[in-house]
């Protein structure tokens, strides 16, 4: 991705040659949430200089992780999108999220974006179980909807607006972080609707007290 390289015959070193530059994984994190305009990325990564963001996007395009798409009218604007190859990085991001979750400072009410709460504090802790039933979980955090579908070993985060969920969690994004950090039952911090079996399954699959 850059002229810098560890020059080691090692898969970890080669991966870091591609993904190890500062901000690169965070840019990919945002694009794996969904297609983004340049201004969306700047808003999500406020500490990143615009010229550096341009450099990282260009490098990720060169590596085949990012592509540009033109939205049709009336939007008629360019967005950046993660490619299929970029989805191979999701397990890396989830492992980093699990590593970092206990290292976050105590959460404040305004510290957490809903997308971070879902994809940083819930999805990375999914426990595959080939014998587990299909369950559709919907999290409505600070007014934003996210769907997590568990089906055996698989976890899908594709939004399903017309599908009726088995479990719905409605509340502030900070509630999810507090439940993960402090072990406070999610039901004490947010509103939960669903059967007792659905609640138990959510708690078991995501190791999150409910």
Q: How many CA atoms lie within 13 A of 202 on its CB side?
A: 28
Asked whether residue 2 is domain-assigned, the answer is: no
User: Has residue 1 got a pLDDT over 50?
Assistant: no
User: Has residue 133 got a pLDDT over 60?
Assistant: yes
Q: Are 190 and 132 members of one domain? A: yes
Q: Are 172 and 116 members of one domain? A: yes
Q: Which domain holds residue 195?
A: 105-206
Q: Are 198 and 138 members of one domain? A: yes
Asked whether residue 5 is domain-assigned, the answer is: no
Give the whole-number percent of the chain exceeding pLDDT 90: 88
Q: Are 60 and 116 members of one domain? A: no
Tell me what pLDDT residue 3 has: 59
Give, as one character, the DSSP assignment of residue 72: P
Record the tokens describing residue 172, joined without a space: 């502030």
User: Has residue 71 got a pLDDT over 90?
Assistant: no
User: Has residue 75 got a pLDDT over 80?
Assistant: no
Pairwise CA distance, residues 158 & 68, whole Å: 21
Domains: count for the chain: 2
Q: Are 127 and 153 members of one domain? A: yes
Mean pLDDT of 79-93: 96
**pTM for this entry:** 0.90
* Dihedral sign computed on CA atoms, order 67, 84, 41, 56: negative
Mean pLDDT of 169-181: 95
End-to-end CA distance of the chain: 43
Average pLDDT of the residues of the chain: 93
Tell me what pLDDT residue 107 has: 80
- Among 91, 125, 144, the domain boundary falls at 91
Tell me what pLDDT residue 72 has: 83
Q: Are 63 and 113 members of one domain? A: no
pLDDT digits (tens, 9 = 90+) for 96-105: 999 999 899 8
Asked whether residue 111 is domain-assigned, the answer is: yes
């Amino acid at each position: 991705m850059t002229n810098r390289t560890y020059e080691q015959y090692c898969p970890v070193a080669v991966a870091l040659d591609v993904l190890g530059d500062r901000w690169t994984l965070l840019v990919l994190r945002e694009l794996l949430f969904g297609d983004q305009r340049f201004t969306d990325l700047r808003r999500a990564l406020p500490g990143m200089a615009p010229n550096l963001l341009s450099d990282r996007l260009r490098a990720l395009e060169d590596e085949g992780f990012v592509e540009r798409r033109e939205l049709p009218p009336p939007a008629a604007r360019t967005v950046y999108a993660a490619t299929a190859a970029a989805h191979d990085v999701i397990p890396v991001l989830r492992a980093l999220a699990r590593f970092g979750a206990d290292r976050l400072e105590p959460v404040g009410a305004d510290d957490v974006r809903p997308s971070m709460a879902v994809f940083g504090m819930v999805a990375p802790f999914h426990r595959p179980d080939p014998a587990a039933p299909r369950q559709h979980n919907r999290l409505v955090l600070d007014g934003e909807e996210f769907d997590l579908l568990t089906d055996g070993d698989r976890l899908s985060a594709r939004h399903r607006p017309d599908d009726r969920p088995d479990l719905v969690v409605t509340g502030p994004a900070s509630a999810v972080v507090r439940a993960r950090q402090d072990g406070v039952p999610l039901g004490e911090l947010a509103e939960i609707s669903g059967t007792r079996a659905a609640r138990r399954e959510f708690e078991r699959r995501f190791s999150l007290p409910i």
